[in-house]
Amino acid sequence: MQNPALSSLNTNLTFVINRLTTLRLVIASLLLGFVIYLELNHFYPELVTWLTLAGYLPLIVIGLIQKRKGLTANQLALHLLFETQLITLFLYFTGGASNPLISYFLVLIVIAAYNLSKTWVWFIASACIIDYSLLTQFYLPIESSMPGHHLAGSSSTGGGFIYWHLAGMWLTFVISAIALSLLIPALMEASIKRRQQLIELREKQLKNEQLIGIATLAAGTAHEMGTPLMTMEMILNDSLEHGITLSKEDGELLHQQVTLCRQSLQRLALAGRNIHTKNDYNNASQWLTTLLHRWRLSQPRAIWANNGFEETANIPKSPLLDQALLNLLDNAAQAGSQTIELSSKVIDKQWYFTIHQPDPLAANDLKKDHLFASDKEHGIGLGLYLSNASIEQFNGQVHLSANKDGSTTCVINLPCRETNK
């Protein structure tokens, strides 16, 4: 069965062959140095040993070529298998399992485990275990001409200890090879799964944010269109009941209300493209002035008092914030009949916008009309849920409180950038 990490690792195979080629240059240099060391100690390796060492040359050349053209997982597996047999042949003529360079088999298994399917990993690991086992029995011993010094094939009284030492090395290698073949692919699979889960969670979060944004804009657009449609309905009903044609003023009003509905729908259609524009900023005072003018078109009877807007604050620009504030203003207008008091200020790089409805019946209206209104100081009702969710996406908060005198206060705070006046 193919390792599920294989598809995501194919793009790294060129990087792998690049590093493997560099590693082969190092290994070939070590093998050459080892052979030269044997020559200096009066042990002359067979000619086949030199030919085996020369076998690294085509491996390195092919690696350099495939580093540019790229290679597949199967080609990498063939590379490792060929190198395994090349090392085995070299070790046969240079002491077999007693040669410490035999541990290089583990390096090849690790490379295979990180980059190949499970089938190839087990195939290469099995080849290494078989080759190691054969080299414990069949090899040409290395003997130095120095008196009493034997690197392999010793007949001294320490021969039993050397035998058990080599047997222990073989067993350790087998266990290590099996453990690496099992553990590394499993760790790779777990790592890939965790990465995929994080990506899926991130995508899900982004989708949820977009859905909340679209829902907020859609709810606000429907609310904005409610008043113009009601106005048109009243004018048309009056004209039909009295059997009179529309006056010029009524015709202009109907045209204005239709234009307002069309603009609301256009904003909704284009809002999805510009929901998150966190890199753009609006001057808070200018933004409030424009938004209040837009609010007056949908709420002609709404009145408010400007108690002072901070002019040095810049806040994130987004249609989500536009609609969230319009919803909060609508809630304040519907909660009472008195003049809404508006003000803003900046404290510690936070922009605070306050909407105060002084009507003493506003708090009762809030608890009556909002299903999830809370008795807590900062309870938030169902009608404000989408607005709060939108503002939270920009690291802001909404605090709605019912005051002791029956009035209500809504405070919005958003991170801001201050500019000089």
CA distances from 320 to 103, 122, 393 (A): 62, 55, 9
HSE-CB at 334 with a 13 A cutoff on CA atoms is: 16
Best mean pLDDT range from 96-105, 239-248, 396-405: 396-405
Contacts of 138 (CB under 8 A, 6+ apart): 92, 96
- pLDDT in the model for residue 3: 44
Distance CA(31)–CA(233), nearest Å, equals: 94
pLDDT band at residue 268, thresholds of 50, 70 and 90?
A: low
Distance CA 255, CA 240 (A): 18
Summarize pLDDT for 320-367 with one digit per residue, the tens: 788 888 888 888 888 888 889 999 888 888 999 999 999 888 887 665
pLDDT of amino acid 89: 92
pLDDT given for residue 1 in this prediction: 43
Q: Decide if pLDDT at 271 tops 70.
A: no
The confidence band for 253, taking pLDDT boundaries of 50, 70 and 90, is confident
> Phi/psi at 241 (nearest 5 deg)?
-65, -35
The CATH fold of domain 282-418: Heat Shock Protein 90 (3.30.565)
Domain residue ranges of the chain, discontinuous segments joined by +:
6-203, 209-273, 282-418
pLDDT level of residue 12 (50, 70, 90 thresholds): low
> Is 144:98 a contact under the CB 8 Å cutoff?
no
Half-sphere exposure of 90 (CA within 13 A, CB side): 26
Predicted local confidence at residue 353, as pLDDT: 93
**Does 247 or 152 have the greater pLDDT score?**
247
Asked whether the predicted pLDDT for residue 58 surpasses 50, the reply is yes
Answer with the residue of higher pLDDT: 1 or 230: 230
**Length of the chain as a residue count:** 421
Residue 305: predicted pLDDT: 83
Rounded Cα distance between 67 and 59, Å, is 12
Identify the weakest region by mean pLDDT among 51-55, 162-166, 310-314, 392-396. Answer: 162-166
Both tokens of residue 233?
A: 């309905």
Start-to-end CA distance of the chain, whole Å, equals 68
What pLDDT, on the 0 to 100 scale, is given for residue 267? 65
* Residue whose structure tokens are 């029956």: 406
pLDDT class for 153, splitting at 50, 70, 90?
very low
Of the chain, the percentage scoring pLDDT greater than 70 comes to 72
pLDDT at 168: 62
- What is the pLDDT at residue 391? 85
The whole-number pLDDT of residue 165 equals 60
Per mean pLDDT, which range of 140-144, 155-159, 294-298 is the poorest?
155-159
CB atoms within 10 A of CB 384: 22
pLDDT average, residue stretch 84-91: 91
340-347 vs 397-402, strand pairing mode: unpaired
155 pLDDT band, cuts 50/70/90, is very low
How confident is the model over 66-78, as a mean pLDDT?
A: 83
- CA max distance for the chain: 130
The CA–CA distances, whole Å, from 56 to 110, 280, 406 equal: 20, 59, 88
Q: What is the mean pLDDT of the chain?
A: 76
User: What tokens were used for 35?
Assistant: 């052979």
User: Does 14 score more than 70 pLDDT?
Assistant: yes
Q: How far apart are CA 235 and CA 318, in angstroms?
A: 35
Residue 4's pLDDT band (cuts 50, 70, 90): very low
pLDDT at 129 over 70: yes
pLDDT the model gives residue 296: 80
pLDDT of residue 130: 92
Helices and strands, number each (H, E), in the chain:
13, 8
Which residue's structure tokens are 């086949």? Answer: 48
| The pLDDT value given to residue 204 | 74
